[in-house]
A and B are shown apart, each in its own frame.
Chain A
Amino acid sequence: MKGMTIIVKKTAQLIAGMIFMYGIYVIVHGHLTPGGGFAGGVIMAGSLILVILSHGTDFFSLVKEEMGTTIVESAATICVILIATAGFLFGTKVFFNNFLPKGNVGDLVSAGVLPLYNIFVGIEVAASVFIIFLSLIIFKEESPK
Chain B
Amino acid sequence: MNQLLPLFVIVPLSATFLIMIFGRFFKDFNKYFASCVLLFLVVLSFYSMISLNGGLSLYKVGGWQPINKIPIGIYIVMDGFNSLIVCIINLIGFLVVFYSISYIKRYTAENYFYALFCLLIGGMNGVVISGDLFNIFVFLEISVISSYALVAFGVEKNELEASFKYQVLGGLASFLILFGIGFIYWKTKTLNIADIRAAFSNGYDKKYYLFVQLLILSGFGLKAAIIPFHAWLPDAHSSAPSPISAMLSGVFIKAVGIYVIIRLFFNMFEISEGMAILITTLGTISMVIGVFLAIGQWDIKRLLAYHSISQMGYVVMSVGIGMILVSRGLKPEVASLAITGGIYHLINHAAFKGLLFLNAGAIEYTLGTRNLKEMGGLAKVMPVTSATSFIASMSISGVPPFNGFFSKLIIIIAAILARFYLLAALAVIVSIITLASFLKFQRYAFYDKPKNPMGSEVKEVPFPMVFSMIVLSILCLLLSLLVIPSVREVILAPAVNILTDPLKYSTFILGQ
Contacts and interface: CB of A to CB of B under 8 A. Distances in A.
B contacts with A: majority SS: mixed
Interface string B60-87: 1111000000000010000000000000
A74 B20 contact: yes
Interface stretch (A20-28, A49-57, A93-101, A132-140): A93-101
Contacts of A88: 3
A98 B62 contact: yes
A85 interface: yes
Contacts of A74: 17-18, 20-21
A2 B161 CA distance: 34
A81 B7 CA distance: 11
Interface in A64-79: 67, 70-71, 73-75, 77-78
A129 B3 CA distance: 35
A35 interface: no
A84 B62 CA distance: 9
A91 interface: yes
A97 B6 CA distance: 12
A94 B61 contact: yes
Contacts of A3: none
Contacts of A94: 59-63
A78 B63 contact: no
A35 B209 CA distance: 35
A96 B5 CA distance: 13
A70 B61 CA distance: 29
Contact of B14 (A81, A95, A96): A81
Contact of B21 (A75, A81, A95): A75
B10 interface: yes
A87 B62 CA distance: 8
A81 B13 contact: yes
B24 interface: yes
A92 interface: yes
A92 B14 contact: no
Contacts of A67: 24
Nearest to B115: A74
B79 to A, nearest CB: 19
A74 B119 CA distance: 13
A98 B13 CA distance: 20
A70 to B, nearest CB: 6
B63 A97 contact: yes
Contact of A77 (B17, B59, B60, B62): B17
Given A81-B13, A81-B14, A71 B21 contact: yes
Interface in B253-271: none
Contacts of A95: 6, 10, 59, 61-62
Interface in B18-52: 18, 20-21, 24
Contacts of B63: 87, 91-92, 94, 97
Contacts of A92: 63
Contacts of B20: 70-71, 73-74
Interface of B: 3, 6, 10, 13-14, 17-18, 20-21, 24, 59-63, 74
